[in-house]
Amino acid sequence: MLETCIARVRERAPLIHNITNYVTINDVANALLACGASPIMSDDPEDIEEITSRCAGLNLNLGTLHMRTIDAMFAAGRRSNALGHVVTMDPVGVGASSLRLRTALSLLHELRLDAIRGNASEIRALARGAGPSRGVDVSAADTVTEENLETMTDFVRDFAAHTGVIVALTGALDLVADGRTCYVIRNGRPEMGRVTGTGCQLSGLLAAFLAANPERKLEAAAAAVCTMGVAGEVAFSHLRPEEGNATYRNRIIDAIFHMDEDTLRARARYEIRTR
């Protein structure tokens, strides 16, 4: 059951190393603390191997990419792989520049990643660059809808099978898949897109949930996505008429802080599609 995954995060309190977006770094740290994990942020190559050796998971985020962070990502990723730690990647804006795409593909090919989280356009750009995979050509939509759900589910599972990585494609509908099974998740609010950093926060949660639940990584990934979506719903229900996206951001973190097994069990809306 997905709800037990969050209990395991709170029990194990994994330390997560984040090389992440400078725009959202504080929110990522607070979201990790809220779910029961512990964050550490470091992107200096001189610091990396020692820091990441102390952690249970590594969250790589391409949001504010530059040459120092690229070197740091590879160094931290190699060290994490050597220690058997969880490594996740958020390919922010991967289709916006050749540097981002080249870096994301190199991370995918040279490191052993456990999960990738991105929106539909990011996952599509990454899939096109990663090589042939059945379904890539028919994944032209930038969002997952009920009308294209079957096609997009096949696409995500195919990409996961091709890379050997859990893929979390998030948007109006969220898809979390390995090569065989796909969770279709219907939690969240459209207003979450008006808050900078909800995706980055989720990527941090993803690393924490996987690190705390190494024996059931697909379920843990789905639980992280459900947790963020439910937090968005709960936070929105607490907004007053005069409040906007700044308050909403804080209420989302508060909702993660108060998330428990009962809330997730009652409010998570998902189905499992297996082939």
Q: What is the pLDDT of residues 99-137, one digit of tens each?
A: 999 999 999 999 999 999 999 999 999 998 754 433 333
What is the percent of the chain with per-residue pLDDT over 90, rounded to a whole number?
A: 89
Do strands 38-41 and 115-118 pair parallel, antiparallel, or not at all (unpaired)? unpaired
Pairing of strands 174-177, 15-19: unpaired
Contact yes or no for 185/222 (Cβ under 8 A): yes
- Tally of residues, the chain: 275
- The distance from CA 272 to its chain's CA centroid, rounded to whole angstroms, is 19
Mean per-residue pLDDT, 256-273: 97
- Domain segments of the chain: what residues? 3-274
Residue 1, H or E segment: none
The band of 275, judged by pLDDT with boundaries at 50, 70 and 90, is confident
Instruction: Give the span between the Cα atoms of 186 and 230, in whole angstroms.
Output: 9
Question: Beta strands 181-185 and 174-177: pairing type?
Answer: antiparallel
- CA–CA separation, 222 and 82 (whole Å): 26
pTM of the model: 0.94
Residue 95: its pLDDT value, please? Answer: 87
When pLDDT is cut at 50, 70 and 90, the band that residue 143 belongs to is confident
3-274 CATH fold: UDP-N-acetylmuramoyl-L-alanine:D-glutamate ligase (3.40.1190)
Instruction: Report whether 151 contacts 196 (CB < 8 A).
Output: no
